[in-house]
């Protein structure tokens, strides 16, 4: 999976309240599918389906213990989503830095034209 597909998968995985709740639970520590299913009014297969999406997005990994296969939060995939937001912010900041210069220029021009119109008013 390339970086863009991975990011797609991350955001798709985050676009669901159940999956976000699963991540919040896993932030507290590892849990089995049974443990994760408990607080939700959902069958284990339904929870497993959500977990598959989270795994595909790299947000969750499963332990090797064949019986329990505990789920673990993989926080670095979330970090990729934050980096993405930071780049979006930087894009706007580039525009706004140019806008700062433009506003300075407009204010300087306004001051000059005001001074000029005052002088003209005095003369007449």
Partner 1 sequence: MKTQPTSRTALKSTVALPNDCDVVVVRAFNAPRELVFDAWTRPALVQRWLLGPPGWTMPVCEMDVRPGGKYRWRWRSEADGKEFGFSGEFREVVRPSRIVHVERYDSGDVGGTMGEALVTSELIENDGVTTHTMTIHYESQEVRDAAVKTGMTDGMEMGYQRLDELLAEQRG
CA gap 31, 97 in Å, rounded: 47
Count of residues of this chain found to bind partner 1 when the rule CB under 8 A is applied: 30
Q: Is residue 1 a contact residue for partner 1 (CB under 8 A)?
A: no
Q: What is the dihedral of CA 102, 104, 105, 106, to 10 degrees?
A: 90
Instruction: Give phi and psi for 61, each to the nearest 5.
Output: -120, 160
> Cβ 119 to partner 1, closest distance in Å?
23
Instruction: Give phi and psi for 20, each to the nearest 5.
Output: -65, -35
Q: Which one, of 62, 65, 22, lies nearest residue 42 by Cα?
A: 22
Determine the 3-state secondary structure of 83 from DSSP: helix
Using the rule CB under 8 A, which residue among 12, 27, 46, 112 binds partner 1?
12
Segment interacting with partner 1, rule: CB under 8 A, options 35-43, 44-52, 53-61, 92-100? 92-100
> Cβ 109 to partner 1, closest distance in Å?
10
> Cβ 43 to partner 1, closest distance in Å?
25
CB 17, CB 49: distance < 8 Å: no
Q: x/- binding map, residues 44-73, to partner 1, per CB under 8 A?
A: ------------------------------
Q: What residues make contact with partner 1 under the rule CB under 8 A?
A: 3-4, 7-8, 11-12, 14-15, 84-85, 87-96, 98-104, 106-107, 110
């Amino acid at each position: 999976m390339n970086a863009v597909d991975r990011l797609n998968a991350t955001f798709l995985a985050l676009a669901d309240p159940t999956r976000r709740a699963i991540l919040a639970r896993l932030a507290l520590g590892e849990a089995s599918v049974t443990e994760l299913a408990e607080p939700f009014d959902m069958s284990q297969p339904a929870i497993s389906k959500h977990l598959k999406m989270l795994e595909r997005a790299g947000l969750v990994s499963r332990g090797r213990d064949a019986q329990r296969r505990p789920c673990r939060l993989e926080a670095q995939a979330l970090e990729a989503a934050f980096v993405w937001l930071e780049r979006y912010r930087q894009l706007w900041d580039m525009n706004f830095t140019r806008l700062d210069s433009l506003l300075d220029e407009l204010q300087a021009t306004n001051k000059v034209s005001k001074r000029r119109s005052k002088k003209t008013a005095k003369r007449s």
